[in-house]
Amino acid sequence: MLAYRILSQGEAAQICDIDKPDPQEGQIRVAIKACGLNFADLLMQKGTYQDTPSAPFTQGMEIAGVVDAIGPGVSHLNPGDRIAVYSGQGGLAEFGVFDADRAIPLPDSVSFEDAAAIQIAYGTSHLALDHRARLQPGEALLVTGAAGGVGLTAVEIGKLMGATVIAHARGADKLTVAQAAGADHLIDASEDLRTRVKELGGADVVYDAIGGDVFKAAFRATNPEGRLLPIGFAGGDVPQIPANHLLVKNLTVIGFYIGGYLTFRPQIVRDSFDTLFRWCAEGRIKPHISHVLPLTDAEKGLQLLRDRSATGKVVITP
């Protein structure tokens, strides 16, 4: 089978022809129909992601497909079942072996492409805004990088939760995408973020995927008792947070990493995915997928993320 693999850390990933794996105790083999790409995939290539596997390994963190075979001890799944798996690795291949307890059944009306696009991006936003930040109806939610794969889902879910959503992105095209997802107010990256947010009454919750100076500006535009979620650092700089400002404005900075919950509270992730797949089946959410590419174009898809030229998700279909 074909797989997109990192053979040695620091070297470029490449398409390889490898043996099809067999499922072991508690595992399933999946015929992979779609795999979502993520910024973390780029970090894994550099070896800087917190959960980078030891080389060699197959890239691809979130997949959807059909159960092809089951290993010993698996009784709740059968060959032919449509499922999604937040795998962390192994998704950019024609087949993959995964722990059966990570598989989530897919409603028939949810496409494989949508299922692959939902898990990390929507799961991150849903758990961060609901479980961690406790976003309330009527609050002002500021989303930076609002047209990116994760930011766009925060706009959509924030609106579903009843918030007033302020979207920050670069350029009219990306802001139009955020507006279509439900944003109430639009701020171009060329504008002064702090000034514009303050003019709109400030932010009660900040969902920041950029870091650096963008986070600093958002921090200064946060209302007293506001909550800040530093989701990612696509801008390259990890912000240093002045604790004295937290004290004066009674602010809360909330750490959140969806992968961590797979270790100590996996049921929270499963419940979130069940909710999101149901919402998708009901038409309440619809992933914005800007590119669908074959496995042989996996590197092209990752380059779209490097260049920040994708709006929403890039999905690979092995």
* pLDDT per residue as tens digits for the range 156-198: 999 999 999 999 999 999 999 999 999 999 999 999 999 999 9
Q: Is 166 within 8 Å of 188 (Cβ atoms)?
A: no
In which band, very low, low, confident or very high, does the pLDDT at 22 lie, cut at 50, 70 and 90? Answer: very high
- Joined tokens for residue 201: 């009454």
Q: Are residue 70 and residue 106 in the same domain, yes or no?
A: yes
Q: Is residue 225 part of a domain?
A: yes
Of the residues 228, 253, 278, the one at which a domain ends:
253
Q: What is the pLDDT of residues 216-261, one digit of tens each?
A: 999 999 999 999 999 988 777 888 898 998 999 999 999 999 988 9
pLDDT of 312 > 90? The answer is: no
Cis peptide before 56 (omega within 30 of 0): yes
Task: Annotate 231-253 with b (16+ C-beta within 10 A) or e (fewer).
Answer: bbbbbeeebeeeeeeeeeeebeb
Q: Are residue 158 and residue 245 in the same domain, yes or no?
A: yes
Average pLDDT over residues 139-150: 92
The helix (run of H) or strand (run of E) holding residue 177 is helix 172-180
pLDDT at 126: 97
Bridge partners (DSSP) listed for residue 95: 31
Q: Are residue 26 and residue 87 in the same domain, yes or no?
A: yes
Q: Are residue 143 and residue 243 in the same domain, yes or no?
A: yes
- Average pLDDT of the chain, as a whole number: 94
pLDDT at 263: 87
pLDDT at 280: 96
CA atoms lying within 13 Å on the CB side of residue 252: 12
Sequence-separated contacts (24+) of 257-260 with Cβ below 8 Å: 257/50, 258/120, 258/123, 258/124, 258/127, 258/128, 259/50, 259/51, 259/88
Strands (E), the chain: 2-6, 14-17, 27-36, 57-58, 62-70, 82-86, 95-99, 103-105, 140-144, 164-169, 185-188, 203-208, 222-230, 252-253, 289-294, 313-317
For 156, the domain range is 134-253
Q: Is 232 within 8 Å of 256 (Cβ atoms)?
A: no
Average pLDDT over residues 10-29: 95
Of the residues 205, 234, 253, the one at which a domain ends:
253
Q: Is residue 125 part of a domain?
A: no
- State the Cα–Cα distance between residues 318 and 91, nearest whole angstrom: 9
Q: What is the pLDDT of residues 30-49, one digit of tens each?
A: 999 999 999 889 989 988 88
Say which CATH number the domain at 45 has. Answer: 3.90.180.10
Q: Are residue 165 and residue 273 in the same domain, yes or no?
A: no
Q: How many CB atoms lie within 10 A of CB 192?
A: 12
Q: Are residue 113 and residue 9 in the same domain, yes or no?
A: yes
Residue 200: which residues within 8 A CB-CB, separation 6 or more?
Answer: 140, 166, 185
- State the Cα–Cα distance between residues 227 and 218, nearest whole angstrom: 11
- State the Cα–Cα distance between residues 260 and 264, nearest whole angstrom: 7
Closest CA to 62 of 276, 309, 235, 236: 276
Q: Are residue 30 and residue 91 in the same domain, yes or no?
A: yes
Q: Are residue 228 and residue 304 in the same domain, yes or no?
A: no
pLDDT at 288: 87
Q: Are residue 158 and residue 107 in the same domain, yes or no?
A: no
pLDDT > 70: percent of the chain: 100
Q: Are residue 14 and residue 115 in the same domain, yes or no?
A: yes
pLDDT at 50: 82
pLDDT at 63: 98
Please count the structural domains in the chain: 2
pLDDT of 291 > 80? The answer is: yes
Which is more confident, 224 or 147? 224
Residue 266: which residues within 8 A CB-CB, separation 6 or more?
Answer: 101, 102
Of the residues 253, 274, 305, the one at which a domain ends:
253
- State the Cα–Cα distance between residues 1 and 96, nearest whole angstrom: 10
Q: How many CB atoms lie within 10 A of CB 28?
A: 26
pLDDT at 239: 87
Say which CATH number the domain at 234 has. Answer: 3.40.50.720
- State the Cα–Cα distance between residues 55 and 45, nearest whole angstrom: 10
CA atoms lying within 13 Å on the CB side of residue 288: 23
Q: Is residue 288 part of a domain?
A: yes
